[in-house]
């Protein structure tokens, strides 16, 4: 299974893959998210991630833990032994694919603002445990970067920028590259460690995973519908206000006409906008994020289902053959 | 999320800078060698890393095959009481490199650096303790005795791991040692390094990662991408097919007398066959159909949701 180095891929060293797996295994059981920093280089417009180090989790009793200092010290020490120490991104583990959150957006924006090519690596441990490594690299699209820079999340601004939930993140294909020395070591390991194949990928049990994914999807859809209701009320308020303004203006005009007919001076023009304060438009970023998250969930579910359908049909074919 | 530290300027390096920066790196982190030996697991101070001057390491089996990098091993230490062999094992889970300087007659280790690194690492994994040190190179020299002595100060019985990146005998041998004193007490004393058995253990997700990485061995430019859904099922079933063919071949060989029958293998095969569940065809049909229906329904719902949010998006921009 060779693979072409496409233009927009990012090269990940095997060390990063294994370290991320290890970090999650040791620190991240349960719903908690583990995070860490990616180090590497940019070569010929392509990002190469060559090392990483984990970030300790935030605990209440470590209130004086200085994140920046920890990072600086780590990077300084790595530079001391000639390991690549330039910051190029960060990684995070995810629970059943839920990572499209405001926090992630903000962090990735600040990273990308400083380094254009930085990515966030999302590692899905549950999917990996089912048989195949799930590691994806994401970057914010340039459009979204623009919007975040302006910090203007009102409906008009987003409409102008023409952002839909599909073009919030762009996925960067990942390529794993090894040095010859590593390949030699891998051959050695293969000889020495007779680990039995476990074939998790071919397991037919799917209901547990499906159940949890659907639960998360339902929660998100609920949030989305609440958001939509909020937006609808806002729109209704705006149109009601327009009507009120219109009525007020008409009344004013009528009064003025009456006054003129009676020879009295017309009433002064009042600033309409001061009388009718326009309602606040709700920020649309939340709903974009929710839509993005729902989309990710659906994609994951569909992929999982496609795999399982394939497996079930295989099982059926085998059974038919036996009868 | 981890925030950006100082401005990461100058990411784009020239080619020649790259060569200088991409030094020899220690190979991928040890996949938990498990030495079974005499001493219990004890923390030992970190070992030394390679000196900056000997930067161009033996990536392509360079002439100077001496140890170029050493580092400390940390593990989830298991202290067993002496006696049972089982408890006498140590699991190495992580390592980091430490700079050192080596000349003909003397050796300098940056212990300060080592302590710092260890403290930093402890913040993430507080249960790991220092176990020993590693060195690249294929032999043990006097320098290693000295370094080992450094570590004996902090650890009770430090472990020394050598990784032969110079590929002597066309193999990358990975060995582990503990030191034992020898000689005539009172007169000439020396130190002997006794070898330990090294085993590799993986946990599930790690093994899956390693499997994927191993695939680069088969690709011409040593790269591998991550494949998606049905492709993976396809390759997994191909693997099972291969193993099944092997088993069938073995069975036929035994039947035709080419290979002597082995009882243990026979028992395994019996277990294998008995594990296939016996279901009547009707039951299997119902089970299959209900599963397929579930999956189809969920796919339909997922598609429906996606079209809903697409619609919502369109309506918003009206």
CB contact under 8 A, A55 and B97: no
pLDDT of residue A58: 64
Q: Which of B53, B295, B318 to mutate to test the interface with A (most CBs of A within 10 A)?
A: B295
Q: Is 50 exceeded by the pLDDT of residue A19?
A: yes
Beta-strand ranges (E) seen in A155-303 are 169-172, 174-177
pLDDT of residue B7: 31
Task: Name the minimum distance, in Å, from the CA of B97 to any CA of chain A.
Answer: 7
B288 or A319, higher pLDDT: B288
How crowded is the C-beta side of A142, counted as CA atoms within 13 Å?
A: 1
| Residue B194 neighbours by CB under 8 Å, 6+ apart | B37, B38, B177, B178, B179, B180
**What percentage of chain B's residues is helix, strand, coil (to nearest 5)?**
40, 20, 40
The secondary structure element, H or E, covering residue A92 is strand A87-93
Give chain B positions within 8 Å (CB) of A297.
302
Closest to A81 measured CA to CA, from B134, B113, B93: B113
pLDDT of residue B220: 64
CA distances from A92 to A36, A89, A107, A201, A269 (A): 7, 10, 11, 23, 59
- Residue pLDDT, tens place only, A176-212: 888 887 888 888 777 776 566 667 777 777 788 888 8
Distance in angstroms (rounded) separating the CA atoms of residues A51 and A86: 9
| Residue A223 neighbours by CB under 8 Å, 6+ apart | A290
Task: Name the minimum distance, in Å, from the CA of B95 to any CA of chain A.
Answer: 11
Closest to A204 measured CA to CA, from A304, A95, A96: A304
Angle at B7 between CA B2 and CA B12, to 5 degrees: 105
User: Which one-letter DSSP state was computed for residue B127?
Assistant: T
Q: What ipTM was reported for this prediction?
A: 0.80
CB contact under 8 A, B317 and A159: yes
Closest to B211 measured CA to CA, from A180, A49, A131, A178: A131
User: Would the pTM count as exceeding 0.80?
Assistant: no
Task: Name the minimum distance, in Å, from the CA of A56 to any CA of chain B.
Answer: 4
Q: Which of residues 56-85 of B touch A (CB under 8 A)?
A: 59-60, 69
| Residue A94 neighbours by CB under 8 Å, 6+ apart | A33, A122, A123, A124
The mean predicted confidence, pLDDT, of chain A is: 80
Distance in angstroms (rounded) separating the CA atoms of residues A112 and A105: 10
Distance in angstroms (rounded) separating the CA atoms of residues A51 and B32: 19
pLDDT of residue B245: 92
pLDDT of residue B303: 92
Long-range contacts of B116-120 (CB under 8 A, 24+ apart): B116/A73, B116/A77, B117/A77, B117/B46, B117/B72, B118/B45, B118/B46, B118/B72, B118/B74, B120/A70, B120/A73, B120/A74, B120/A77
- Residue pLDDT, tens place only, A263-290: 777 777 666 666 677 777 777 788 888 8
Distance in angstroms (rounded) separating the CA atoms of residues B99 and B70: 8
Q: What are phi and psi of B141, to 5 degrees?
A: -120, -175
Q: Which of residues 19-58 of B touch A (CB under 8 A)?
A: 21-23, 25, 27-29, 31, 49-50, 52, 55
Task: Name the minimum distance, in Å, from the CA of B187 to any CA of chain A.
Answer: 40
Q: Which residue(s) pair with B132 in the sheet?
A: B73, B159
- Residue pLDDT, tens place only, B102-119: 776 667 777 788 788 888
Give chain A positions within 8 Å (CB) of B113.
77, 80
User: Average pLDDT of A106-133?
Assistant: 84
- Residue pLDDT, tens place only, A218-260: 888 898 888 888 888 888 888 888 888 888 888 888 888 888 8
Q: Is the dihedral of CA A305, A308, A313, A319 positive or negative?
A: negative
Q: What are phi and psi of B240, to 5 degrees?
A: -65, -40
Task: Name the minimum distance, in Å, from the CA of B152 to any CA of chain A.
Answer: 24
Distance in angstroms (rounded) separating the CA atoms of residues B29 and B121: 15
Task: Name the minimum distance, in Å, from the CA of A291 to any CA of chain B.
Answer: 6
pLDDT of residue A232: 86
Beta-strand ranges (E) seen in chain B are 70-75, 92-98, 100-102, 107-109, 129-136, 159-163, 174-183, 189-196, 223-225
pLDDT of residue A25: 82
pLDDT of residue B87: 53
Of A1, A83, A295, the CB nearest to B215: A1
Size of interface A-B (CB pairs under 8 A): 313
Give chain A positions within 8 Å (CB) of B8.
86-88, 114-115
Distance in angstroms (rounded) separating the CA atoms of residues B45 and B131: 7
Q: Quick check: B90 and B176 in contact, CB under 8 A?
A: no
Residue B312 contacts A, CB cutoff 8 Å: yes
Give chain B positions within 8 Å (CB) of A42.
11-12
CA A32 to chain centre: 16
Nearest CA in chain A to B114: A77
Task: Name the minimum distance, in Å, from the CA of A66 to any CA of chain B.
Answer: 11
Intervals of chain B under pLDDT 50: 1-86
The secondary structure element, H or E, covering residue A155 is helix A155-161
Distance in angstroms (rounded) separating the CA atoms of residues A40 and B10: 12
> What SS3 state is found at A99?
coil
User: Average pLDDT of A293-313?
Assistant: 87
CB contact under 8 A, B3 and A181: no
Q: Quick check: A174 and A150 in contact, CB under 8 A?
A: no
Q: Quick check: A145 and A108 in contact, CB under 8 A?
A: no
Q: What are phi and psi of A131, to 5 degrees?
A: 135, -15
Q: Would strands A119-123 and A10-13 be described as parallel, antiparallel, or unpaired?
A: unpaired
Residue B180 contacts A, CB cutoff 8 Å: no
Nearest CA in chain A to B286: A316
- Residue pLDDT, tens place only, A48-103: 888 888 887 765 455 556 777 888 888 888 887 777 778 888 898 888 888 888 88
Closest to B52 measured CA to CA, from B30, B68, B65, B40: B68
CA B195 to chain centre: 20
Of B94, B219, B292, the CB nearest to A309: B292
Give chain B positions within 8 Å (CB) of A87.
4-5, 8
| Gyration radius (Cα) of chain A, Å | 28
Distance in angstroms (rounded) separating the CA atoms of residues B316 and B318: 5
């Amino acid at each position: 299974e060779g693979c072409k180095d496409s233009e927009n891929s990012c090269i990940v060293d095997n060390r990063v893959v294994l370290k991320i797996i290890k970090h999650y295994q040791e620190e991240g059981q349960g719903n908690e998210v583990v995070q860490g920093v990616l180090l590497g280089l940019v070569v010929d417009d392509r990002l190469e991630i060559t090392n990483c180090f984990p970030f300790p989790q935030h605990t209440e009793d470590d209130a004086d833990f200085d994140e920046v200092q920890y990072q600086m010290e780590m990077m300084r020490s790595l530079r001391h032994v000639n390991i690549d120490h330039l910051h190029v991104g960060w990684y995070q583990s995810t629970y059943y694919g839920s990572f499209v959150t405001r926090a992630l957006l903000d962090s990735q924006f600040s990273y990308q603002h400083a380094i254009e090519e930085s990515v966030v690596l999302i590692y899905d441990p549950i999917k990996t445990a089912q048989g195949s490594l799930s590691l994806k690299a994401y970057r914010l699209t340039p459009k979204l970067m623009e919007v975040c820079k302006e910090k203007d999340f009102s409906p008009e601004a987003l409409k102008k920028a023409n952002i839909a939930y599909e073009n919030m993140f762009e996925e960067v294909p990942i390529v794993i590259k090894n040095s010859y020395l590593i390949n030699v070591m891998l051959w050695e390991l293969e000889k020495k460690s007779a680990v039995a194949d476990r074939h998790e990928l071919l397991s037919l049990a799917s209901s547990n995973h499906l159940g949890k994914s659907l639960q998360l999807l339902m929660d998100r859809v609920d949030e989305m519908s609440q958001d939509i209701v909020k937006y609808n009320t806002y729109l209704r308020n705006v149109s009601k206000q327009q009507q009120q303004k219109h009525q007020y203006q008409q009344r004013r005009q009528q009064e003025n006409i009456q006054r003129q007919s009676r020879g009295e001076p017309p009433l002064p023009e009042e600033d309409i906008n001061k009388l009718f304060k326009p309602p606040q438009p709700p920020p649309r970023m939340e709903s974009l994020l929710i839509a993005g998250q729902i989309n990710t969930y659906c994609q994951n579910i569909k992929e999982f289902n496609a795999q399982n359908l394939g497996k079930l049909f295989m099982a059926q074919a085998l059974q038919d053959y036996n009868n | 999320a981890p925030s950006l530290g100082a401005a990461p300027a100058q990411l784009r390096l020239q080619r020649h800078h790259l060569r200088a920066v991409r030094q020899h790196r220690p190979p991928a982190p040890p996949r938990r060698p498990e030495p079974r030996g005499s001493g219990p697991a004890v923390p030992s101070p970190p070992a030394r890393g390679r000196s900056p001057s000997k930067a161009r390491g033996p990536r392509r089996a360079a002439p100077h095959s001496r140890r170029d990098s050493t580092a400390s091993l940390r593990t989830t230490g298991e202290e067993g009481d002496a006696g049972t062999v089982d408890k006498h094992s140590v699991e190495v889970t992580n390592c980091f490199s430490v700079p050192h300087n080596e000349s003909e007659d003397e050796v300098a280790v940056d212990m300060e650096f080592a302590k710092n690194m260890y403290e930093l690492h402890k913040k993430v994994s507080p249960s790991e303790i220092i176990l020993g040190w590693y060195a690249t190179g294929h032999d043990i020299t006097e320098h290693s005795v000295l370094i080992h002595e450094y570590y004996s100060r902090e650890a009770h019985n430090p472990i020394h791991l050598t990784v032969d990146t110079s590929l002597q005998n066309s193999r990358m041998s990975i060995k582990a040692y503990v030191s034992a004193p020898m000689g005539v007490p009172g007169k000439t004393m020396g130190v002997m390094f006794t070898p330990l058995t090294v085993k590799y253990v993986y946990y599930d997700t790690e093994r899956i990662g390693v499997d994927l990485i191993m695939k680069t061995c088969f690709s011409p430019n040593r790269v591998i991408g991550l494949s998606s859904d049905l492709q993976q099922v396809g390759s997994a079933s191909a693997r099972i097919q291969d193993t099944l063919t092997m088993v069938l071949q073995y069975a036929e060989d035994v039947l035709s007398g080419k290979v002597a029958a082995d009882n243990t293998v026979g028992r395994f095969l019996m277990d294998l066959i008995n594990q296939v569940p016996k279901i009547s065809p009707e039951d299997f049909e119902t089970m299959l159909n209900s599963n397929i229906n579930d999956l189809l329904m969920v796919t339909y719902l997922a598609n429906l949701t996606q079209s809903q949010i697409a619609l919502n998006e369109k309506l918003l921009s009206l």
